[in-house]
Structure 1
Amino acid sequence: MNLNFTDILWLVVLLMTILPMLQKRNITAQRLALLRKIEEKRQSRVISLIHRQEAISLLGIPISRYINVEDSEHILRAIRLTPEDMPLDLILHTPGGLVLASEQIARALQQHKAKVTVFVPHYAMSGGTMIALAADEIILDPNAVLGPVDPQLGQYPAASILKIVKQKHIDRIEDNTLILADMAEKAVRQVHEFVKSLLLDKMTPEKAEEIARILSEGRWTHDYPITCDKLREMGIPTICNTMPLEVYELMELYPQPAQQRPSVQYIPLPYDNGKKTTG
């Protein structure tokens, strides 16, 4: 069979179109098989909420992922399909997202009658922290972190808007800023009350009030990492050294978009007692 340049070009385009589809289908199958393995091991329903940058189209444009209403719809549907007496395990890796979606997920987890466990292999910030607080048990990697849940209005922290209004005379403040300040006050109060409601069945009302205030008042920057030790110091029950190996394996199936020059490289083999494995 004779192929001219045009035929070869079309074959290349066809392969570039089909191969990513086949690769995506293969990695999806691997993820589901691993989720099933964890479910059989723990006798639970396992749900993953993992946000990483993903490549789209043939151009490989990276897009940022975050908690949205579509995520909450899927998770609520999964919880409805789970018997009330079956434990729930949520594998959580996210920078946060919409407050509405995060609150929906957190409330659904809180209302599930069987035990709910949240696994955080790397980080669960902002809305992810809110979801984690709804669990009966939070299991973090020793180096994983949660974060503050103080609301953000556009590009500005609500707490910073309120601070500006307190520092300047009202005659020198624009109407738009005053409107933002009113919204900020409501947002902080709403998040504070919701976080407190998540904690009331785990500790005393006084302790729940204190933690909710610390997390929502804007004490830290929004990306401040709250470690295992800090969580325990605050009074949030956290387990920091029993992460199942399968959770890390699952994270490997959510690769970042390939780059021409990788920023991190290592030999992907476990070492035993500091001795390199040779073959």
Structure 2
Amino acid sequence: MSMLTGTTLSNASLTVAQLERALSERFPASTGEPWDRNGCVAGFPDDEVSSVVVALDPTYAALCATREFGANVLVTHHPLFLDPPTRFVSFGCGDDVAGSRVHAALSWGISCLNYHTPLDASVEAAVLPTLMGLEFSGELLQPLGDAPHLGYGQVCEPAGGGLTVGELAARCKAVFERPARVWGDPDAPIARAATATGAAGNVVDAALGAGVECLVCGEVKYHQALDASERGLAIIELGHDVSELPLTLPLARAVAQAGVSTERIHVYNQGMNWYSA
């Protein structure tokens, strides 16, 4: 785990409920998807926040790290569950992993907060363009109707001139130290690109409509990628988790701005959930 630096320190005490309220104002559920779960999914609202661990996924390993560090709040991007668990038993004693995570969190006095699609649609979600050496134009592929400055998919231009699909894929590999899956001609030039974290099948048509030639994202379904590449849209898949790991930093900054001192905020480095053999 590494400590967050570069934000304002605060010594004010804060309850879990107050932290949830501040983060929910920053990433309101109204800007997320109706099927999503956000906020404090399991925990102790009246407890005072001692320390906070920020992670991408609320895995058992992340919960163990939170406990070992002595923190009582785990803030993640992904929720503990979408479909409610059916069993709440010790980890390894059943096949409902989500229920076992809830059991562990509550047994260890850990409150679990998450901000999923509201973070995806936020201004803070535009983390990939800078990493990729792209200039975000301000145009979104899928803006929210009542808040057009929020939404999914950032339309970009290559910083400093010409770029090919293969060169952009090489940048992705250099930044994340993982090979990317590339659909399309590596020698094809890019004048307009787009970035999207996580699953990006919902923005493929919008990318084509916006004249985008290459979409850098977490993942798309096989047939979506196949069809898109034949329609002239190259796709660079980083991996769902790889594309979203940078979101832990804006999430940690939001925790600090909610009133938790930076010395009590730690970003859990979970690494990658998969690898290429």
Fold match by TM threshold 0.5: no
TM bin (shorter chain): under 0.3
Larger relative contact order (CA 8 Å, sep ≥ 6): 2
TM score, norm. by length of structure 2: 0.27
Which is richer in strand?
2
TM score, norm. by length of structure 1: 0.27
Which is richer in helix?
1
- Structure 1 or 2, whichever has the larger Rg, is 1
